[in-house]
Copies of this chain bind each other. A is one copy, B any other.
Amino acid sequence: MSEAGKRVIFHELLTPEDALNKIFSTVKIEPVGVEIVKIEDSYGRVLASDIYSRIDVPPFDRSTMDGFAVRAEDTFGADELNPIKLRVVGNIETGAEGLPRINPGETAEIATGAPLPPGANAVVMVEYTKRVGDELLVYRSVTPGENVMSAGSDVMMGELVLRKCTVIREREVGLLAAVGLREVEVFRRPRVAIISTGNELVSPGRTLSPGKIYDINTYTISHAVRSMGAEPVIMGIVRDDINEMRNTITKALSVSDLVLLSGGTSAGLADLTYRVLDEIGPPGIIIHGLKVKPGKPTVVAVSRDGKLVVGLPGYPSSALMIFNIIVKPILAKMLCTSVDETRIRARLAIRAEGARGRRALYPVGLVDTGHGIVAYPLPAESGAISTLAYADGYIVIPETVEYLDSGDEVEVALFTHQYMPSNLYIIGSHDIGLDLLIPMLPGFVRARVINVGSMGGLYAVKRGETDVAGLHLVDEETGQYNIPYMVKYDVRNAVLVRGYMREQGLIVPRGNPKNVNSIEDLLKGDVKIVNRNKGAGTRFLLDIKLKDVASRMGVKFEDLVKRINGYYYEVKTHTAVAAAVAQGKADAGVGIRAAAAMYGLDFIPLGWESYDFAIPIDRLDKDSVKAFLNLLRSPEFKERLEKLPGYKVPGDIGSIIWRANT
């Protein structure tokens, strides 16, 4: 086999545990150094040494009340009827120095937090005293130590206050300050060099030439590195060129403590990466792939001077999952912390297949149904960035498990600590009115909107997968909106709530250069249209209008649409239709007036439609759904919605207009 044609052979696939053991037994992974920081700059840093207190806290016997410092024995026997008389010899404020000595029969006024004067051993609260000039009447006795916090009772000089390897946050910095430290020794943040590989990659911000896509992994991995408290060093994109690869990896090794590569899906690039990674040794490559799906292309190498290079899979969500299971434990050792991945229990929404002898990782999206959290497995290996958008974390299916079934309990490792499951799912037809409504929802509502068209929304409601679905589906026979579909599709578990009216029409470039004024004009040979996805209400509307035209012309609908240039060019949202027209990718499309207005395009009205909301009955008492409905019915929302071009608000907005007879 020639050098050029050589394919990488994945032998010795390791489990993640074996891979980590091999890494840790080959290289000593430990903190990469220490530095001194001011405590105010220590947020999130990790202590590099044990902290012993050099002082007592409090450093002196401290009054915990406003009152009078006394010798307790002087007050014995005092009560309401038999006050004891003492002579006031001073007044001690917090922070006072030069304290008076309290002799028998004497007292001094004292503030909360002030130091107890010599001679005194207790404080009488001001409520139980009466002062007349220099004379104090004490109406209650105190015991020695009463209302006094004694020196060192909180932290003793010499006590271990914080351990090495503690992460410094609000509480820890309080302890450092309390024992008087202004500077603290922390571990240096490991520098992590990040390289993306692939001839097809272009850096975001640059122009895409044909066949190219934007580099994503540099940025997702960089943020993942930051989330661990390490410091990313972006090395850029390396193409399929041995010298470029060699130079970049050499440079990365010299400026960082750990090198991460990603991409290289093509066999040629993988070959080349392997060659360069073996050159940096001995030992060179120590791991040739993981027994994990996805994760087979994972490669780990060690340089001559003991630095690690980890090659991650190319697809963004795969790279993030392998980062979590392989790179996080390495960075945790470099920072002397632990990987405290947050996990959430959920039920699987649909069956997920195992990977026959390999461990399977699935990105999952989480939905808080109000009756527990449900996890939707997403396709990990599609490379789709929408996977990244909807994945809250991932699940693991062990090597020995054939599949997990719908309803099975799973543990979801979250991608970020800060995650909270969305509690209002809006799946269905895209609408600009909804785009307006979402940000007006109260703070506790965490909405997630997924645009799948009206039919997709209808199915999601029927399966109980969404809280709300926006629909605008016109019945071919009656011209009635939405209700006929609830009946026809037998949606027994939901109600239909009145939404609002939207003006649909043809969206054409400003000035309407192709002179498109009716549905018939879409048949003109020089007009290319942009269509909506199947299941979209707007697609239904166009098809109904085209069926009219077909019957008038006496041709079959199927034959008619074949004559329309772009009928099969489908996009998912109104704004995407408008964008396609605005950018000259189409001469016309059907959509709502507001989308045309957004892009400054011309609009030829075709009529008004009803955009309503289907809501599963068991969600009507969910707080987020109540908040949604309240907002829908509110004057503020109505007022703002009516300002949108092509929107009309009916009087009964937000009322239930249909309920199944069950």
Contacts and interface: CB of A to CB of B under 8 A. Distances in A.
Given A157-B583, A418-B340, A169 B385 contact: no
A383 B57 CA distance: 11
A134 interface: no
Interface string A86-116: 0000000111110100000000000111110
A510 interface: no
Interface string A473-491: 0000000000000000000
Interface string A197-220: 011110111101111111111111
Contacts of A114: 200, 211
A409 to B, nearest CB: 18
A373 B282 CA distance: 48
Given A58-B213, A339-B443, 9 more contacts: A43-B226, A54-B579, A112-B265, A115-B211, A149-B384, A152-B571, A177-B220, A179-B214, A182-B204
A55 interface: yes
Contacts of A579: 52, 54, 156-158
Contacts of A60: 210-211
A624 interface: no
Interface string A420-447: 1000000000100001001100011010
Interface in A152-181: 152-161, 163-165, 167-171, 173-181
A170 B43 contact: no
Given A156-B571, A580-B157, A169 B416 contact: yes
Given A59-B208, A385-B57, A93 B152 contact: no
Contact of A215 (B177, B181, B212, B240): B177
Interface stretch (A386-394, A519-527, A558-566, A653-661): A386-394
Nearest to A578: B158
Contact of A157 (B158, B171, B268, B576): B576
A219 B179 CA distance: 12
A196 to B, nearest CB: 10
B211 A575 contact: no
Interface string A55-92: 10111101010100000000000000000000000000
A-B pairs, top 3 by smallest CB distance, nearest first, are A158-B579, A182-B205, A95-B199
A220 B113 contact: no
A22 to B, nearest CB: 17
A386 B154 contact: yes
| Copies of chain A in the complex | 2
A163 to B, nearest CB: 7
Contacts of A223: 42-43, 168-170, 173
B43 A227 contact: yes
Contact of A95 (B159, B198, B224): B198
Nearest to A444: B338
Interface in A459-508: none
A417 interface: yes
Given A267-B66, A572-B156, A578-B158, A338 B389 contact: no
A578 B278 CA distance: 54
B59 A176 contact: no
Contacts of A577: 158
Given A173-B219, A198-B94, A210-B115, A154 B384 contact: yes
Give the interface size class of chain A: 35 or more
Give the one of A112, A171, A208 with max B CB within 10 A: A171
Interface in A322-340: 329, 332, 338-340
Interface of A: 39-40, 42-44, 50, 52, 54-55, 57-60, 62, 64, 66, 93-97, 99, 111-115, 149, 152-161, 163-165, 167-171, 173-183, 198-201, 203-206, 208-220, 222-224, 226-227, 232, 234, 239-240, 265-268, 316, 320, 329, 332, 338-340, 382-386, 388-389, 391, 415-418, 420, 430, 435, 438-439, 443-444, 446, 451, 571-573, 575-580, 582-583, 585
A4 to B, nearest CB: 12
A72 to B, nearest CB: 15
A156 B573 contact: yes
27 contacts: A39-B204, A39-B219, A40-B232, A50-B435, A57-B213, A57-B385, A64-B382, A93-B268, A95-B199, A95-B201, A95-B212, A113-B265, A149-B382, A153-B384, A157-B571, A157-B585, A159-B575, A160-B435, A163-B438, A167-B418, A170-B223, A174-B385, A175-B388, A177-B204, A177-B218, A178-B216, A183-B205
A158 B446 CA distance: 24
A270 to B, nearest CB: 11
Contact of A224 (B97, B170, B201): B170
A217 B94 CA distance: 17
Contacts of A156: 571-573, 576, 579
A65 to B, nearest CB: 10
B214 A40 contact: no
A503 B26 CA distance: 39
Contacts of A99: 210-211
B420 A340 contact: yes
Contacts of A389: 161, 171, 175
Given A43-B223, A391-B171, A418-B340, A575 B180 contact: no
B176 A219 contact: yes
